[in-house]
Amino acid sequence: MDNLIDNFRIYLEVEKNVSGCTKTAYLADLQEFALFLKGKGMMKQREYLAAVGQEEIRAYLTDLYRQKLKKVTISRKISSLRAFYKYLVRKGKIKNNPAEIIQSPRTEKYMPSFLSVDETFELLKTQEGVAVLHLRNRAMLELFYSSGLRLSELASLNVFDVDFNQSLVKVRGKGRKERIIPIGGPALDAIGDYLAKAGGLAVGKTGDTFNTPLFLNSRGQRITGRSIARIVGEAARLIGRKISPHSLRHSFATHLLNAGADLRSIQEMLGHESLSTTQKYTAVNISRMMEIYDKAHPRAGLKGKKDTNTINNDIGGEKSK
């Protein structure tokens, strides 16, 4: 059993190139499933995970519902099992994926959180110091907002991924897919200011100029996603907001859409496989549009003034005549 899970871990790292968070979640879900089977007396063989059928998975799903977990959590756990058994089918361990036809719960739709343009500019101003760490933090925030990168994508950037001449950055996204994204002038300037102080330190630490991490921690090593998330959170608190790095990605997409960018272009820059994933920003845009309409239009506040009771009274009055 442990060998199956460990081989799956290697598959996620090497072949699928999933993010660290995704890998950790998948492996934790599998270990939890194995413990469930063991607790129910179902773990009889050394590689019993490969002999599991739909009955065991349905029993596990029932147990998850009994725990009153969030639907999105249950959905992710089922996705972890689907991915694992799909891997076993691919490796010839089993013939059919027992989790393939198990339906995930219908999850609630959520609206992505994002900053307004003014709030984004305030956030960027929180890192205006000249110390190398302030310069690094400013460069990371500028790049998040300028190019809409995921947290893992920003953390994995190397110095030579940034093309200063053409104002582009090469990003390694999900599933080892690379894409080229434009960078704005302020972000390039911030990266240049940061590298002027930190670039030599990075090369000295790694000895490899082509694989030199772009963003370093205080020890001269590649900065982790957790550290980046903490920096973004601290900067957000300074402007009275509570956001994650992903909120800057949402802000990037929302502001582009509000300014007239088409969904296909935004989809390419975000690295979404499906346009439907990008379309959630349309809903955000419509909500914002309705908010602006209600506040600005002279007649917006008057709609619905003649409520149901008034209409009923009018009708009653006509009938009484």
Residues 137-188 pLDDT 10s? 999 999 999 999 989 899 999 989 999 999 999 998 776 778 898 999 999 9
Where does the pLDDT of residue 289 fall: very low under 50, low under 70, confident under 90, or very high at 90 and above? low
Most confident of 19-23, 32-36, 284-288, 311-315: 32-36
Q: Please tell me whether residues 78 and 19 are part of one structural domain.
A: yes
26: nearest Cα among 3, 2, 5: 5
Q: Please tell me whether residues 126 and 168 are part of one structural domain.
A: yes
Q: Please tell me whether residues 122 and 241 are part of one structural domain.
A: yes
pLDDT surpassing 90 at residue 135: yes
Looking at residue 177, its amino acid is K
Last residue of a domain, one of 246, 280, 313: 246
Percentage of the chain exceeding pLDDT 90:
35
Per-residue pLDDT at 126: 92
Q: Please tell me whether residues 142 and 208 are part of one structural domain.
A: yes
Is residue 46 in some structural domain?
A: yes
Last residue of a domain, one of 202, 217, 246: 246
Per-residue pLDDT at 139: 95
Active-site residue identified among 170, 246, 280, 288: 246
- Count Cβ neighbours within 10 Å for each residue of 128-163 and write b for 16 or more, e otherwise: eeeebbebbbbbbbbbbbbbbbbbbbbbbbbbebbe
Is residue 309 in some structural domain?
A: no
Last residue of a domain, one of 211, 226, 246: 246
Q: How many domains does the chain have?
A: 2
CATH number of the domain that residue 6 is part of: 1.10.150.130
202: nearest Cα among 225, 183, 218, 189: 218
Using CB atoms within 10 A of its CB, is residue 33 exposed (0-12), middle (13-18) or buried (19+)? buried
| Between residues 187 and 271, the one the model is more confident about | 187
Q: Average the pLDDT over each of 31-35, 62-66, 232-236, 312-316 and give the range with the smallest value.
A: 312-316
CATH number of the domain that residue 202 is part of: 1.10.443.10
Two structure tokens written together for 32: 């939890």
Active-site residue identified among 150, 222, 250, 255: 150
**How far from 141 is each of 129, 160, 240, 250, CA to CA, in Å?**
14, 19, 17, 13
Active-site residue identified among 23, 86, 174, 241: 174
Query: Is residue 281 annotated as a catalytic residue, yes or no?
Result: yes
Q: Please tell me whether residues 82 and 127 are part of one structural domain.
A: no
Q: Please tell me whether residues 83 and 127 are part of one structural domain.
A: no
Percentage of the chain exceeding pLDDT 70:
76
* Site of tokens 């590298």: 195
Per-residue pLDDT at 304: 55
135: nearest Cα among 185, 73, 196, 62: 196
Per-residue pLDDT at 292: 57
Is residue 235 in some structural domain?
A: yes
Query: Is residue 85 annotated as a catalytic residue, yes or no?
Result: no
Distance CA 13, CA 236 (A): 32
For residue 193, which phi and psi values (nearest 5 degrees)? -60, -40
Q: Please tell me whether residues 84 and 121 are part of one structural domain.
A: no
Where does the pLDDT of residue 276 fall: very low under 50, low under 70, confident under 90, or very high at 90 and above? low
Q: Please tell me whether residues 132 and 189 are part of one structural domain.
A: yes
Active-site residue identified among 136, 222, 250, 272: 272
Where does the pLDDT of residue 198 fall: very low under 50, low under 70, confident under 90, or very high at 90 and above? confident
Per-residue pLDDT at 218: 84
Per-residue pLDDT at 113: 80
Query: Is residue 150 annotated as a catalytic residue, yes or no?
Result: yes
Residues 244-258 pLDDT 10s? 898 998 898 888 888
Query: Is residue 249 annotated as a catalytic residue, yes or no?
Result: yes
Q: Please tell me whether residues 86 and 126 are part of one structural domain.
A: no
pLDDT surpassing 90 at residue 320: no
Q: Please tell me whether residues 210 and 126 are part of one structural domain.
A: yes
198: nearest Cα among 166, 224, 165, 222: 222
Q: Please tell me whether residues 121 and 86 are part of one structural domain.
A: no
Is residue 132 in some structural domain?
A: yes
Is residue 165 in some structural domain?
A: yes
Distance CA 80, CA 18 (A): 12
Q: Please tell me whether residues 78 and 124 are part of one structural domain.
A: no
Is residue 278 in some structural domain?
A: no
Query: Is residue 174 annotated as a catalytic residue, yes or no?
Result: yes
Query: Is residue 288 annotated as a catalytic residue, yes or no?
Result: no
Domain that holds residue 28: 2-90
